[in-house]
Structure 1
Amino acid sequence: MVISGWFVALLLAGAVPIVVTNDPRWLVWWLGIAVVLAAIDLVIAASPRRVLLTRDVPARVRLGESVAATLVIENAGRRTIRGVVRDAWQPSAGAHPTRTRIVIRGGERRAIRTGLTPIRRGERPAAHVTIRSFGPLKLAARQATMNVPGAIRVLPPFHSRKHLPSRLAKLRELDGRTSVMIRGQGTEFDSLREYVRGD
């Protein structure tokens, strides 16, 4: 069980009549009302354990590049889940955003995309997924943390990528696979010359 800021605001709203009336019985009544409302809200909230989670993560990424990991959430229960999902990655995975608000009706599914911009090389596993499901009054919530395996391999940066096309063109030219060296369309001038031994 998790209480929200709305529950604290409800308790603080009850402080005004207590100060005005200076009656300690009012405090007991107000606390009782707030706790009963929070309990009702908690009972009505959908269970986060009735959720099926699957993760789709790219196999690898270069250091300094960004990719998107997708978390698919399927509500297997009947009640609508209103809450927050936290897709927890290691800090060095550079996940953003880590928290997402969701509203998923019973039997439906949603996909949440988390951008990953790693700042270190190596294997970056996902820690877990936490779902917090609030009731309609948003006073209290049910919370569940589930292990959804997933990892991304971060490879060293490839800074010389911008030079690759020119180097490949030079290798093709040396190898004799460029269109300049091949007879046919665009090389009509070469076809006018006399046959030379070795052609």
Structure 2
Amino acid sequence: MRTFIAIDTGQKVAEIVDIVVEKLKRMGFKASWVPGSNAHLTLAFLNEVKDEKVELIASMLSKRLRGFPTFTFSTGKLGFFRHKNLPRVIWIGVKSSPILNNLFRETRVALESLGFNVDENFHAHITVGRMKFSPPYWRKLIETVEIEEVIVPVSEVSLFKSELSPEGAKYTKLFSCSFEGGLIKYDS
């Protein structure tokens, strides 16, 4: 199954994502939009993982992150990743946080100990949409979108399953690894 490790960014960020998507649609952008209910901050994308290895990943991550301090991060401005001078992905930025970067490193170490290759370049963001069409002057339009800053509390990371369909990706939380040491398994 396609899996990834992420921080669930909560209800307020979900509402902001939905508002941003509506603004971008009205401006003429076309994309595979992320519903606010799917909003998250990815720490590592694992791609295809055998079902029997998923619980091992969650267990190793839970052990590695036990005792990690609870912290917060805040959302920033709207941004994008480009391809051939067009936006490929539009996202909500996350203000730089040393402790968030440390969480990424700890997650990477846990996954690499299980044989996964994790990209060392961590650019914290919350994806809003994967672009299919951008209107003329797209950069100026993106710059006009104001986003309310949200403070996101973080006390756990989760292991998600991603299922692709014509309607878009469906994310299912499989495990949550609490920094206090608990591992919760969800029915999938």
TM-score (normalised: structure 1)? 0.23
Q: Which has the higher contact order (CA 8 A, sep 6+)?
A: 2
TM-score (normalised: structure 2)? 0.24
Of Structure 1 and Structure 2, which has the larger fraction of its residues in strand? 2
